[in-house]
Chains A and B, each alone.
Chain A
Amino acid sequence: MTKRLFALLSVLVVASLALAACGSTPAATEAPANNEAPATQAPAATEPPAAAMGTLKIVSSLPMTGSSLTQTQTIVNAMQLRLEQANYAACGGKYTLEYEAWDDASAALGKWDPAVETENANKAAADPSIVAYLGTFNSGAAKLSIPILNQAGPLTMISPANTNPGLTKADKDLPGVTDSYYPTGVRNYSRVVAADDIQGKVAANFVKSLGATTVYILDDNELYGKGVADVFEATAKEIGLTVLGHESIDPKAADYKALMTKISTSNSGAAPDAIYVGMVVDNNASQLLKDKVAIMGDNETVKYVGPDGIQTQAFIDGAGADVAEGAYASVAGVPLDKLPPAGLQFVKDYEAKYGKLTEPYAVYGYETMNVALKAIEDVCAAGGDPTDRAAVNTAVFAIKNFDGALGTWSFDANGDTSLTDMTFYQVKGGAYTSVGTFK
């Protein structure tokens, strides 16, 4: 009898193991697929140019285990789309392009992992065929990889999503911090998205325009989340909003009912007019909203505003459409349907291949790959060697009046884009709908 029981249990456990193994993490199943795709497609794409001189490798490092996958998967798809359009070839067929989508998150943390990001950067630094490093998604991760890549050539790094201002612009309160990311003194990091010195400022003005006079600020204590919340706080004070409190939350707590109870009386016994949350969706953002609504009522009574980190369907799905109804989030740039012709074409091509696009960062992923390819082509056109990392990096920073999917824009000397539009979205009927673009 015990033997039979044992057999039964073993079958169950083996079954669950098998399920776990084939399920694995979404990243583990999808990322390899992404890795393989270029490898299998590249030879087919290179058949016309017989005299291929070499291989140029481009990698992306984005969190693909955790809630951010909803956003990062669309970025990876968009990057691949751009490469397919280029037939995985550069410089008139002289070079074959290879692409690998690396994951900088770990299952143990459920979000980007400092150890994994550092490992990715070191791996990229050590592989001489890599000429561009596209990423990261989280500003805290960029802070770790910029110095490593800076000393490896420098290897150029182009981010589709980092918005922490300090990565490129020196903060007067923290002198020398930005420079410390670039030990060789040469800038090798650029981004196609507007930074949080703009996002936080526009958000504070937006909250005021909603009629709020008092605001409570929460953040996830990461470089990105705390950074945007700090800019928000500074601007809010400047424009006359009353900041009732600003604190960091524990991103793994089971619930925030006690915190929300405290906030519900922070406005001399009443609830604040608005709550601003500087965080990414992986850091329990949905639970925070759920408990806020349970204690303080819907998002009309107490406005709920966040940055691009919560502008993703995963945030709405996690909180429930009725709970999320009315919450606001901002994203740099214009809504997808207001993009310039090249951007609209991208959305059309993307949807033809991958289905409906609602996530805001896919077009930025497309643009980073655009920039990388443009830089490689520019090096070739000038008679240079695109395998020379320093030359590619110089070409990235030389990009001016680039006619891309986001519009016509330039990089400044810091690697920041000249585009400063900021669009606000509100949850309506279970999806984000744009409510206006601000500068």
Chain B
Amino acid sequence: METTKKKFNWRGLGVSLLVLYIVFLIGPIASLDVPAIAAAIKANPIQLIQFLIIGISNGAIIAIIALGYTMVYGIIELINFAHGDVYMIGVFTSLTVLSVTGTLDSKDPVRITLGLILALVVAVVVGAVLNASIERLAYRRLRNAPRLAPLISAIGMSFIIENLGLMWAAQAWLVPSFGTTGGASQKVFPDMLSVMFNSLGQDVNLLASSGLPLRFTIKDLLVIILAVSLMIGLYLFVQRTTLGKAMRATAQNRDAAKMLGIDIDRVITATFLIGGGLAGAAGLMAGLYNNTAWWFMGFRAGLQAFTAAVLGGIGNITGAMLGGFLIGLLASFSDGYLSTRWTNAWVFTVLVLILLFRPTGLLGEQTGQKA
């Protein structure tokens, strides 16, 4: 523990310099042209709402992944780098289930609904078991090792799972739509939701009747509903159940929790199971929403979800959700009014600013002070 000397506010100076640097140096390069943006909004105000819709839908997926990050970090203070890749496996699992059950070729709404429910269940189970296995194999023995050790094994697990995805995507005998171009290329995740409501498979725009040039498709609606209900369910679970209470106790003080008779290993395994299950569900959602399965998709999603978790306050479930939506909105507005190329720069700038100004995140850490 270092004592803070309050002679000179070095941090304040550093932050001011950083903000100046971003605004005056990176800003113009990253097309942060305020008058032009204002003009664009004025010229087409309805488009602002469109970017809002896109941002919220993308944010919902990020938020679900962020929940898993935040729970795991809250309990064992480990950034589970493999988490994004568990989400990627969720995408491939649900696509495989849809293919094996013949749902991909079906146009019957009942059959598609059943297929999607089955895909959701299988993706959640596979994600949960995979995540818990990772913990058992790569993290448990290193629980009391220096922090760097589990971090490195987390990165290692991430690579292993990415390669698993790479291999999976090459199995055309399992999913014929993978084609013969090998595991490395992007694969199509068919737009099952649109097929369900429209035999032509076109996007169903719920705002078409309003006459405004806005798109709010059935996909956006479903992704948001699923995300919010998962979040409420998780919140109630952690707040109301005995296991949830045990999780919070373990997060606050592992040794004290152990002394009170809580089976730490069981609690941690449960946390990984839940986090992995959520990642699996997010995989199905992202597949249906973006219509892509790609072995590399977990990496970027994981980074953004991690940023969302830190933004909301790591260990804080509501915070992860809020952070996810904010990151989604930020990315959408940056794509729309600035430049896609710089979107990530802005996302990570927010991460840096949050860490500097408010290290506990927007809603604060709920897990108590860590030594």
Chain A residues proximal to chain B, CB less than 8 Å: 2, 6, 9-10, 12-13, 16-17, 19-20, 22-26, 65-70, 73, 107-108, 110, 221, 247-250, 252-259, 261-262, 265, 269, 281, 284, 286-287, 290, 294-295, 312-314, 317-320, 322-323
Contacts and interface: CB of A to CB of B under 8 A. Distances in A.
A70 B132 CA distance: 35
A261 B340 CA distance: 12
Contacts of B188: 317-320, 323
Contact of A287 (B168, B181, B292, B332): B292
Contact of B332 (A10, A26, A258): A258
Contacts of B364: none
Interface stretch (B6-14, B110-118, B156-164, B246-254): B156-164
B187 A317 contact: yes
A255 B290 contact: yes
Contacts of B47: 261-262, 265
B44 A269 contact: yes
A299 to B, nearest CB: 15
Contacts of B265: 2
A290 B291 CA distance: 8
Interface string B203-218: 1000000000101000
Given A16-B133, A258-B335, A286 B162 contact: no
B341 A23 contact: no
Contacts of B290: 254-255, 287, 290
Contacts of B166: 23-26, 107
Contacts of A294: 203
B179 interface: yes
Most chain B beta-carbon contacts within 10 A, residue among A17, A255, A258, A314: A258
Contact of A318 (B51, B167, B170, B185): B185
A281 B296 CA distance: 14
Contact of A317 (B51, B179, B299): B179
B339 A247 contact: yes
A9 B268 CA distance: 15
A250 B336 contact: no
Nearest to A257: B54
A26 B170 contact: yes
Given A16-B164, A254-B286, A259-B335, A26 B190 contact: no
Contacts of A313: 179-181
B91 to A, nearest CB: 11
A107 B133 contact: no
Interface string B324-339: 0000000111011101
